A and B are shown apart, each in its own frame.
Chain A
């Protein structure tokens, strides 16, 4: 790389005599020295070439910061090209040389006054990119002038600069009144200035979720819509994305906005089209369905979406991921467009997989013949993932369209005949689902399946095959032999297979009790005595007791009729889907995850919701929720809540899904083997209704379960691998009473957290849950909870348990004023009523913008919780460590200066006893809780760690931690301008280190 950096410059030195070898012989030091000389040369041309070389070295990652003063000296020039290069250098290195960067200020200020608008804009643009506090102070005046500049080019650059400055020092921007100036720019005569102002404001508003910064009202909306027709393609995107955050007052306003946005669907820029689609999808919610315009709009959406598929493959991918969401929300839009999703031979694999996904969703009786022919074609392709998905899709078609089932099964049989290993395995997995859907119809194929028994090496396929054998044990002559053969390697099998095998053998025993007694004994003892898997053991014990106490009941339970399986699979959970529709076109829609799952800090934490449909009976602002919960601005959901989804997916065939209290447990009883086992085997336990037992934590992205997710979590193998339930059923084991020693809901939540926080250093310390409100004191409501900081958001995580006899509804929460202004960031999300003996997990995001009052102890929090019965009060203490913010790492020099600056009387010393960690481990552990190590020093075998912490209210706490080798007691000195917090902070240090 060094070579090309040199070569680069050489190419530009027309006729220069330098050769490559010269550079190779010089050492690094020499090279810098040489550049220094050239930079100080009198010849302009030589100077310029030298700067170019510096930039080239910078690009390849070499450290050329040593040349800072020499490069900055070149700044005073009339040559625009040279100036731009110097600026580029400055942007890169100013942060590491803040003092010297000041040298550049004068030139900037001067350039901001230059008669040439291009130079004025360049200066203000660059100044905003120099992230040095001292410079930002000087930036304010020029920026103010530039925001009012006569030239639109300067104004549009200044508008973005406000966002830059806000990123460096938000307070300064507010104090200087730049936000108001920026708001004024929305009414600017130049469309590009408007677009940039909108972009800047939208970004700033994101970090102030509750501020009314982007005060969107009909007037501003009108201005934006006017600018939309005139600005650049990028500006149109900014404006459309901003419009999507607006909630129209009524359906008429909604329609008029839609009418003005629809022309954008013909724009050549796909991003403009997708953002327009987002606005339309959102505002459409408000239109009455019987309106003519509603139908027209629906028809207008399909063609532009199809056109996106002729774009470049990367954009096709983005479009397909979005179409996948749109199809789930409004299937009618694309229902006639099946053909465009047919896979082309040369499509990149990522496009192929997405197309296939959508094809399955669009499959219907009308187009099934075509779809099947295509799928059959795909099953012979090369890419393994794609082929598997195609095979699986054939199975889904069979389940979705009854008329096609026969054809699908015969296609699958053909595929099994190919003997391609992964095709066979995939086919068996889907055939199992077909058996579930159409019992006693296709058993003739079992013989063919059994022939392939030996080739199955994937757990999922083995489990499916075992399920089939168990289910049809009475028709397979050698079922006992087959199952016995699996039993030999019982301990080497995965849990999924073990559980399935256990259930299958019990089924076999119940069907042919005489010959298989020995086998069932064997499997029960393997599962209960030789296994350390709690799920397996528990299931084993249940069967054992059931069989020994009441075989008739066992038969009724284990061989009970199974609930139907759903036709759709991998559906995104409705609340998440709603949120993702609000994010069409963005990364969230590509990942199918809410922004909070992959964005750090406060940005994107707000959960967006679709507006309420007209005439749904509920008014947009329900006074009740807003008065009790403070900041609830999310309108109530139109579609059924998560709990109902679960009911749907399981197809329990109960009462129609309502949001009312769930039906009594008795009626659900026989449908679910799992629950009944609990009830019948151990009658001491109270009946547990299943439907509402899902923890309601909206943060968990519960989407597209990997195939292995579901089978492990079902207790009564009778559910026999229903892919549909994977989506909503993930948390099922939480329904098991804790007395079984099964993994509690907490553990499971953790698993999900792991999944959502991929690539994140594992989170901050959070204490275990403790009981805050006792049931006796609160008419049967028990609350236990803890606090945690997850991805930069403070969360209050609670378990609400109803220990009373009646159903609890209408939960709300409020905080008293407290030391750090903690307040709920949204209403308490308890979407379903809490039935007796049921618990629910709630994660309540908090912010720190509430009213402040000093409490004693400092971290005390008084909480009021309301339900339909009464209001209850309790107080709890939060670990102060959850207030430690992510950007609490102080600059070294600043740390030193601050440490000296804080008077000694503010210093307090503590001892942390019995801690056996190395200094590095300590540093890592603390970092996890946003306690940052600034420096480490070793003096006389004693490690000194210098640490900094920033609280949400901007208080810095500095610390010096002394660790002596071999001594488990550490000494810690804390220094802070507000010494009151020291005690609390010390406790947090201790808690973090000891956990």
Chain B
């Protein structure tokens, strides 16, 4: 199991050091600094073995978090724990920075004591942790016996992510379907790979211990219902509002730990008691029938050894009534670029020497439109034998629909003990499609 946990600043100075196992000595702290943080070359692996001690590290801005062990630990678990640790810290004091860590070091030690025991991760749900790690040490005395046992049963219980007795005057929930669409396209316009990785993020402000059921236009479910010929009562409470007919094939999905996985496995229904506040209900991935919001058509021509002509056309490919936002096209330029002249019809384009790229920004663009940029790049003659690697042209954008075609069909809420019903809950749904790694080779 994890033998120790260290946090360093960018210089390699230790900010936090907590050792859980006897086989990890103080020299481990220095070994990591010398061999990884101060290493000359770029990090070649997130797992490093130095003198039979293994170091796992992740970096958040310029802070290094390292877990150390001498045993054959579950490596995936260690990384998941490090990410979780970052989440918890962010939930407590915001951004992970040197200053925040120094200002909260007592809190961090207290958290580390709680969420990692002898190197074994324990309940690390912030919802539960915040009930008893409060940084107001005295609070312990004011707790009644009932409160105490409520805390402990929640921390260890089956529903470790939600506490009892939550009350809201207005029961409300927000669903965000956030998708990032990834594309790799050849210069000829052939799709080399494309997939959507999506997340359903829920913000719930519901009283009591509500039992929720979530439905979407999952092909498997729709097909099953279609065959059964059952009356689709779910459609009545349709939240999506759009064309609920078509269904999508989901390659794979994963769920927050509140979702009953065995139920999903057997019936493919998504039921759960949600944590309070914001959390990620599910992640999914699709690869079939993706709507690619933009198409990039590059044309690069080398004119002699010192000039390059670039023409890039972008085409938007969605309903004309919808508007894409925050569009940015990044056209890489060679390292020996001496000057660039750009002409674009729409938006603003600039050559950024420090980033070796022409950045073309368009604020808004409706569907089924086309726009174009052309540039002349002057090159300095070099005797460098190495050819320019021609990095792909990348794109950023945001569109108000889900490129995968996913639709939320319903989210039903049942709370039998309290007197509010599904109809009393105010529900909001929003779809946002963003570019992930959206690249076209040129």
Q: Assuming A164-B118, A307-B252, A342-B184, is B138 touching A587 (CB within 8 A)?
A: no
Whether B76 and A418, one on each chain, are in contact in the complex, defined by CB atoms closer than 8 angstroms, is no
Q: Is A675 an interface residue (CB 8 A)?
A: no
Q: Is B140 a contact of A318 with CB atoms below 8 Å?
A: no
Q: Within residues 326 to 384 of chain A, which ones have a CB less than 8 A from any CB in chain B?
A: 339-340, 342, 344-346, 348-350, 370, 373-374, 377, 380-382
Known: A61-B14, A118-B140. A587 touches B47 (CB 8 A): yes
Contact A600 B52 (CB under 8 A): yes
Q: A81-B110, A153-B152 are in contact. Are A59 and B120 (CB under 8 A)?
A: no
Chain A hits for B121, CB < 8 A: 234
Residue contact A79 to B261, C-beta cutoff 8 Å: no
Q: Which residue of B lies closest to A115 (CB)?
A: B145
Within 8 A of A (CB), among B301-339: none
Q: Which of B129-160 contact A (CB under 8 A)?
A: 132, 135-141, 143, 145, 148-149, 151-153, 155-158, 160
Interface centre among A230, A345, A418, A760 (most CB of B within 10 A): A345
CB-based contact B257/A116 at 8 Å: no
* Chain B residues near A196 (CB-CB < 8 A): 117, 120, 122
A604 touching B123, Cβ below 8 Å: no
Q: Is the CB of A350 within 8 A of B44?
A: yes
Contact (Cβ within 8 A) B16 A59: yes
Q: How far is the CA of A626 from the CA of B29 in the complex (A)?
A: 46
Assembled-state Cα–Cα distance A629/B338 (Å) = 76
- Contact flag A312-B13 (CB < 8 Å), given A85-B109, A380-B389: no
Are A128 and B118 within 8 A (Cβ)?
yes
Most chain A beta-carbon neighbours within 10 Å: one of B118, B125, B140, B158: B118
- Asked, given contacts A345-B391, A345-B439, A599-B70, whether A61 binds B29 with beta carbons under 8 Å apart, the answer is yes
Q: Is the CB of B74 within 8 A of A118?
A: no
Q: Report Cα–Cα, A340/B15, bound state, in Å.
A: 39
Q: Which residues of A contact B149 (CB under 8 A)?
A: 117, 151
Q: What A residues does B13 contact at CB under 8 A?
A: 1, 4, 60
A586 close to chain B: CB less than 8 A: yes
Tell me which residues from 4 to 27 in chain B have a Cβ below 8 Å from any Cβ of chain A: 13-17, 19-23, 26
A84:B71 contact, CB within 8 angstroms: no
Contact A340 B193 (CB under 8 A): yes
CB distance from A64 to the nearest CB of B (A): 13
Neighbouring A residues of B58 by C-beta, 8 Å: 312, 314
A51 to chain B: closest residue by CB = B106
* Inter-subunit contact A760/B105 (CB<8 Å): no
B138 and A8: CB pair below 8 A? no
A79-B137, A192-B156, A263-B262 given; A587·B75 CB < 8 A: yes
Q: Which of B22, B103, B256 has the most CB of A within 10 A?
A: B22
From B77-85, B163-171, B228-236, give the one contacting chain A: B77-85
A787 CB–B CB distance under 8 Å: no
Q: Are A315 and B72 in contact (CB under 8 A)?
A: no
On chain A, the residues within 8 Å of B77 by CB distance are 234, 237, 271, 275, 585
Residue of A nearest to B160 (CB): A232
Instruction: Judge whether B113 and A125 touch: CB under 8 Å.
Output: yes
Q: How far is the CB of A121 from chain B (nearest CB, A)?
A: 8
Q: How many A-B pairs fall under 8 Å by CB?
A: 302
Task: Tell me the A259-280 residues at the B interface (CB within 8 Å).
Answer: 260, 262-264, 266-271, 273-275
In whole angstroms, how far apart are the Cα atoms of A117 and B140 in the complex? Answer: 11
Q: Is B254 within 8 A of A312, CB to CB?
A: no
Decide: A267 near B257, CB < 8 A? Known: A55-B106, A152-B153: yes
> Which residues on the B side are within 8 Å of A121 (C-beta)?
152
Q: How far is the CB of B173 from chain A (nearest CB, A)?
A: 20
Q: In A190-244, which residues have CB < 8 Å from any B CB?
A: 190-193, 196, 199, 203, 229-234, 237-238, 241
Q: Which of B69, B124, B184, B280 has the most CB of A within 10 A?
A: B184
Q: Is B294 an interface residue (CB 8 A)?
A: no
A164 CA to B124 CA in the complex, in Å?
A: 21
A306:B120 contact, CB within 8 angstroms: no
Which chain B residues lie closer than 8 Å to A88 at the CB level? 109, 113
Interface magnitude class on chain B: 35 or more
In the complex formed, the residue of B with least CB distance to A759 is B51
Q: How far is the CA of A313 from the CA of B83 in the complex (A)?
A: 11
Interface of B: prevailing SS: mixed
Interface residues of A in 76-93 (CB under 8 A from B): 78-85, 87-88, 92
Q: In the complex, what distance in Å separates the CA atom of A312 from the CA atom of B152?
A: 32
A585 and B76 contact, CB distance less than 8 A? yes
When the two chains form their complex, are residues A229 and B72 in contact, meaning their CB atoms are under 8 A apart?
Answer: no
Inter-chain CA distance A118–B145, complex, in Å, is: 11
Whether B214 sits at the interface, judged by CB under 8 Å, is no
* Contact residues of A: prevailing secondary structure: helix
The complex places the Cα of A237 from the Cα of B118 at a distance, in Å, of: 16
Query: Would you call B91 an interface residue if the criterion is a C-beta within 8 Å of the partner chain's C-beta atoms?
Result: no
Specify which chain B residues have a CB less than 8 angstroms from the CB of A59 in the assembled complex: 14-17, 105
- Across-interface contacts of A377 in B (CB, < 8 A): 441
Q: Is B417 interfacial (CB 8 A cutoff)?
A: no
- Contact, CB under 8 Å: A4 / B102: yes
Interface code B14-52, partner A: CB below 8 Å = 1, 0 otherwise? 111101111100100100000000000011111101111
B45: chain A residues within 8 A (beta carbon) = 317, 350
* Stretch in A245-253, A515-523, A590-598 touching the partner: A590-598
1/0 per residue, CB under 8 A from B, across A408-444: the answer is 0000000000111000000000000000000000000
A59-B17, A118-B151, A598-B52 are contacts. A267–B255 as well, Cβ < 8 Å?
Answer: yes
Chain A, Cβ-Cβ closest to B261: A263
- Residues B76 and A117 in contact, CB atoms below 8 Å apart: no
Q: B120 and A234: CB pair below 8 A?
A: yes
- Pair A117/B16 contact, Cβ less than 8 Å: no
The reply to whether the CB of B426 lies closer than 8 angstroms to some CB of chain A is no
Residues in chain B near residue A241, CB distance under 8 A = 74
Whether A11 contacts B103 by the Cβ 8 Å rule is yes
Q: A662 CB to closest chain B CB, in angstroms?
A: 36
| B137 contact set on A, CB distance < 8 A | 79-84
Counting CB contacts under 8 A, is A52 at the interface? yes
Per-residue CB proximity of A294-307 to B under 8 Å, as 1/0?
Answer: 00000000011011
B70 touching A270, Cβ below 8 Å: no
* Partner of B75 from A233, A273, A380, A586 at Cβ < 8 Å: A586
Partner of B52, one of A129, A380, A760: A760
Among A155-163, A475-483, A635-643, the stretch that binds chain B is A155-163
In the assembled complex, A603 has its CB within 8 A of some CB on chain B: yes
A904 near B: Cβ within 8 Å?
Answer: no
Distance to closest chain A CB from B133 (angstroms): 10
Report yes or no: A317 in contact with B46, Cβ–Cβ below 8 A.
Answer: yes
Bound Cα distance from A42 to B385, whole angstroms: 75
The distance from the CB of A324 to the nearest CB of chain B, in whole angstroms, is 14
- Check if A303 sits within 8 Å of B252, measured CB to CB: yes
Q: Does B1 contact A (CB under 8 A)?
A: yes
**Are B43 and A348 in touch, CB under 8 angstroms?**
yes
Pairwise interchain contact B80-A11, C-beta atoms closer than 8 A: no
Could you tell me the distance in whole angstroms from the C-beta of B291 to the nearest C-beta in chain A? 19
Give chain A residues whose Cβ lies under 8 Å from the Cβ of B280: 268
A-B contact pairs, 9 of them (CB 8 A): A59-B14, A80-B137, A80-B138, A191-B158, A271-B79, A382-B389, A587-B71, A591-B47, A599-B71
Chain A residues with CB under 8 Å of chain B are: 1, 4, 7-8, 11-12, 52, 55-56, 59-61, 78-85, 87-88, 92, 115-119, 121, 125, 128-129, 131, 151-154, 156-157, 160-161, 163-164, 167, 190-193, 196, 199, 203, 229-234, 237-238, 241, 260, 262-264, 266-271, 273-275, 303-304, 306-307, 310, 312-315, 317-319, 339-340, 342, 344-346, 348-350, 370, 373-374, 377, 380-382, 418-420, 583, 585-591, 595, 598-600, 603-604, 758-760
Considering the complex of A and B, which 10 residue pairs feature the smallest CB-CB distances, nearest first? A81-B137, A303-B252, A153-B152, A271-B76, A263-B265, A263-B261, A271-B77, A595-B72, A314-B46, A234-B121
